[in-house]
Amino acid sequence: MFWRNDGFFLSEMLLSLAAFLMGSAILLPIAIHVINQTVESEKKATAINLLYDELMYLKITGTDFGRRFIEQNGDKYEVVVTKIEEDSSWEVCIHYDIAQRHYEKCAPAE
Query: Is residue 35 a part of any domain in this protein?
Result: yes
Burial (CB < 10 A; 0-12, 13-18, 19+), residue 35, is exposed
Q: How far apart are CA 83 and CA 57, in angstroms?
A: 15
What pLDDT does 30 receive? 96
Global pTM value: 0.74
Quote the pLDDT of residue 90. 87
Q: Identify the pLDDT of residue 7.
A: 62
Q: What is the mean pLDDT of each run of 10 residues along the chain (110 residues)?
A: 66 90 94 94 93 89 81 89 83 89 88
Does residue 62 form part of some domain?
A: yes
Helix (H) or strand (E) holding 13: helix 9-61
Per the domain annotation, does 105 fall within a domain?
yes
Q: Give the pLDDT confidence score for residue 1 in this predicted structure.
A: 52
Full domain range(s) for residue 28: 9-109
pLDDT for position 94: 94
Domain count, the chain: 1
Please check whether residue 1 lies inside any domain of the structure.
no
Query: Residue 50: which residues within 8 A CB-CB, separation 6 or more?
Result: 70, 72, 77, 79, 94
